Homo-oligomer: A and B are copies of this chain.
Amino acid sequence: MNKFHEIFLDLEQKILANEYPPQSLLPSENQLIKIYGVSRETVRKALNLLTNAGYIQKKQGKGSFVLDFKRFDFPLSGLTSFKELQQTQAITNETIVTTLKKATVSPTVQKLTSWDKSAEVWELVRQRRIDGEVVILDKDFLLTDIVAELPIEKAEDSIYEYFENELNLEIAYAKKEIEVEPVTKEMKDLMDLRPEDSHVIAVKSLVFLEDTRCFEYTESYHRLDKFRFVEFARRRKV
Complex CA gap A175/B201 in Å reads 21
Determine the chain B residues whose CB is within 8 A of the CB of A198 once the complex forms.
196, 198
Q: Counting CB contacts under 8 A, is A36 at the interface?
A: no
A172-B57, A175-B71 known; A77 vs B180 contact (CB < 8 Å) = no
A176 touches B235 (CB 8 A): no
A225 within 8 A of B: yes
Number of copies: 2
B-facing mask of A64-79, CB < 8 A → 1, else 0? 0101000110000111
Q: Is A199 part of the binding interface, using a Cβ–Cβ cutoff of 8 Å?
A: yes
Would you call A228 and B78 a contact (CB within 8 A)? no
Residues of chain B within 8 A (CB-CB) of A116 are none
B residues near A179, Cβ cutoff 8 Å:
227-229
Contact assessment for A236 and B175 in the assembled complex, using a CB-CB cutoff below 8 Å: no
Number of chain A interface residues as a range: 35 or more
The answer to whether B57 and A177 have CB atoms under 8 Å apart is: no
Q: Given the complex of chains A and B, what is the CA–CA distance between A210 and B212 in angstroms?
A: 35
Say whether A238 faces chain B, with CB atoms less than 8 Å apart: yes
Please report which residues of chain A, range 19-50, place their CB below 8 angstroms from some CB of chain B when the two chains form the complex.
23, 41
- CB-nearest residue of chain B to A74: B177
CA distance A171 to B57 in the complex (A): 12
Write out, one digit per residue, whether chain A residues 175-194 have a CB within 8 A of any chain B CB (1) or not (0): 11111100000000000000
**Does chain B have a CB within 8 A of A145?**
no
Whether A59 touches B210, Cβ cut-off 8 Å, given contacts A178-B229, A224-B180, is yes
With both beta carbons as reference points, the residue of chain B lying nearest to A223 in the complex is identified as: B180
Q: Are A232 and B175 in contact (CB under 8 A)?
A: yes
**Contact status B59-A230, CB under 8 Å:** no
| The residue from B77, B79, B175, B233 contacting A72, defined by CB atoms under 8 A apart | B175
Report Cα–Cα, A184/B211, bound state, in Å: 48
A206 at the interface (CB under 8 A from B): yes
Which of A65, A174, A180: most chain B Cβ within 10 A? A180
A residues at B contact (CB < 8 Å): 23, 41, 54, 57, 59, 65, 67, 71-72, 77-80, 84, 171-180, 196, 198-199, 201, 206, 208, 210-212, 224-225, 227-236, 238
